[in-house]
């Protein structure tokens, strides 16, 4: 399968969305760029990052950028590269913790994706299928995540929902 210009890969925790997205980029035949939005703030997160790196192998160029992914896209986009952004959920969390205007950043990202010259695959969590969060911050985050996923899905050429490691294509070009 070739990588379309932009693909959004959604799923729940441990659904297989990252591995699926990595396969899309690896199968593109292009140079692989991994734009990581997570930061190793504790030992458990450090172990997760190490597992992801080991699974990808050495054929990937990794850029760690928790906030400025739009700037990183502008620097890295090129027709001979495929870019994987993993993950938008951590990016949104980082934006909110930094008191950034997440709505503005979401619109900026959507515009950057429309202008991109590289195939781009984005990974994001589908968090709206669970219980209503108990705290105002949790509800605000869940709502912002839903708006982020909608904005990127509207921009993306393809959208896949990963459930139990299996893709369900929600949007494909004709």
Instruction: List the one residue out of 153, 69, 76 whose CA is nearest residue 108.
Output: 69
Is 97 annotated in the active site?
Answer: no
d(C-alpha 27, C-alpha 15), whole Å: 20
Q: Which residue has the tokens 């700037």?
A: 71
Which of the residues 6, 9, 15, 52 is marked catalytic?
52
d(C-alpha 135, C-alpha 70), whole Å: 30
- Both tokens of residue 127? 């968090």
Burial 138-153 (b: 16+ CB within 10 A, else e): eeebeebbeebbebbb
Instruction: List the one residue out of 67, 81, 139, 79 whose CA is nearest residue 109.
Output: 67
Residues tagged active-site: 52
């Amino acid at each position: 399968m070739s990588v379309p210009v932009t693909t959004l890969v959604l799923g729940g925790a441990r659904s297989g969305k990252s591995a699926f997205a990595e396969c899309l980029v690896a199968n593109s035949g292009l140079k692989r760029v991994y734009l990581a939005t997570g930061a190793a703030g504790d030992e458990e997160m450090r172990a997760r990052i190490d597992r992801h790196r080991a699974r990808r192998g050495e054929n990937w160029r990794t850029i760690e950028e928790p906030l400025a992914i739009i700037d990183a896209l502008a620097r890295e986009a090129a027709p001979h590269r495929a870019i994987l952004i993993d993950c938008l959920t951590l990016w949104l969390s980082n934006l909110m913790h930094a008191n950034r205007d997440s709505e503005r950043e979401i619109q900026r990202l959507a515009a950057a994706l429309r202008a991109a010259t590289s195939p781009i695959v984005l990974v994001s969590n589908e968090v709206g299928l669970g219980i209503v969060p108990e705290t105002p911050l949790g509800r605000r985050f869940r709502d912002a995540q839903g708006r982020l996923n909608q904005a990127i899905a509207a921009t993306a050429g393809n959208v896949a929902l990963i459930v139990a490691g299996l893709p369900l294509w929600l949007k494909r070009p004709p």
